[in-house]
Amino acid sequence: MMNIAVTKWIMQRATAITLVPLLIWFLSIFIDLIQKDYQTTLVFFENDINFFLSIIFLIVVFLHMKIGTSEIFEDYIQNTQYKIVANLIISLFAIILPLLTIVSLVLIKFY
Amino acid sequence: MSDLEKNRPLSPHLQVYKWQLSSLLSITHRLTSIINIAAISLICFWIISLYLGENYYKYFQIFSSSMVGKFILIGFTWSFCYHLLNGLRHLSWDFGYGYEIKIANFSGALVVVVSFFLTTALWFFI
């Protein structure tokens, strides 16, 4: 069994590598789509590949965000109790926001 | 904890470090990570507003077509680009490459220049 710190270290690098192509893809489509109309954007996310990649992107980006933010807390928050609360808030945020977004994507595609 | 312990500066000691390119870029990496949280949240709200319908989506369109909105979105794009490119630099260090001061300074300057090029390319050429 790997130490939790080692697991986090590896996960942060693995998510970073995954995000290199995904982020460039997402940024380019985002910049393109915000200059187009509502219907075009809707149709874009109904496409199987775009739907699938967007969900992967959201999960990986928020995982990377959660690990990275905890690392910053580790450096700057001295009080253990504050650190636990801060980590709890960021965990909830990293679950709720992508979840709502993924649910929206699913509803766009299937309803 | 005594007062003395409470007032100890926390590592990384930003108050006492001597400023140099390497530390400046490292701090910028963290700053952009925090800006990226705001940016990714905005992207989430963009997708959620897409589901909620055109009445909600139009607010996003008003924002993104305004001067202030464009400025913020281009700023967010640069923040993502910088974090991505400097992240690649960190990855090469993790694999054991690029530690020599000359190379580290060069790759750092390169990251700054390329981040602006990539932002321009994403907005105006793709």
Q: Which amino acid is at A88?
A: L
Cα distance between residue B105 and residue B111, in whole Å: 10
Question: With bands split at pLDDT 50, 70 and 90, how would you rate the model's confidence at B10?
Answer: low
Confidence band for B20, pLDDT divided at 50, 70 and 90:
confident
Domain ranges of chain B: 26-124
Confidence band of A17 (pLDDT split at 50, 70, 90): very high
The DSSP element (H or E) to which A8 belongs, if any, is helix A4-33
Instruction: Report, at the CATH architecture level, how domain B26-124 is classified.
Output: Up-down Bundle (1.20)
Phi-psi region of B78 (alpha: psi -120 to 50; beta: other; left: phi over 0): alpha
Helix axes A80-110, B21-52, angle to 10 degrees: 40
What tokens were used for B87?
A: 């992240």
Per-residue pLDDT of B86-109, as tens digits, reads 999 999 999 999 999 999 999 999
CB B40 within 8 A of CB B34: no
Integer Cα distance of A8 and B91 in angstroms: 15
**pLDDT 10s digits, A20-64:** 999 999 999 999 999 999 999 999 999 999 999 999 999 999 999
Residue of A nearest to B95 (CA): A13
Question: Do the chains contact at A108 and B50, CB–CB below 8 Å?
Answer: yes
Give the pTM: 0.91
The residue length of chain A stands at 111
Of chain A residues 62-91, which have a CB less than 8 A from chain B?
62, 65, 68-69, 72, 75-76, 78
List the single residue in A with minimal CA-CA distance to B125.
Answer: A28
Map out the domains of chain A as residue ranges: 7-110
Q: What is the ipTM of this complex?
A: 0.94
> Sign (positive/negative) of CA torsion A84, B27, B74, A105?
negative
Beta strands in chain B (DSSP E): none
Probe site for chain A from B44, B52, B65 (most A CB atoms < 10 A): B44
Considering only CB atoms, which residues of chain B are within 8 Å of chain A? 6, 10-12, 30, 33-34, 36-37, 40-41, 43-44, 46-48, 50-52, 54, 57-58, 60-61, 64, 73, 77, 80-81, 84, 87-88, 90-91, 94, 122-123, 126
HSE, side-chain direction, 13 A CA sphere, residue A79: 7
* CATH placement of domain A7-110: 1.20.1300.10
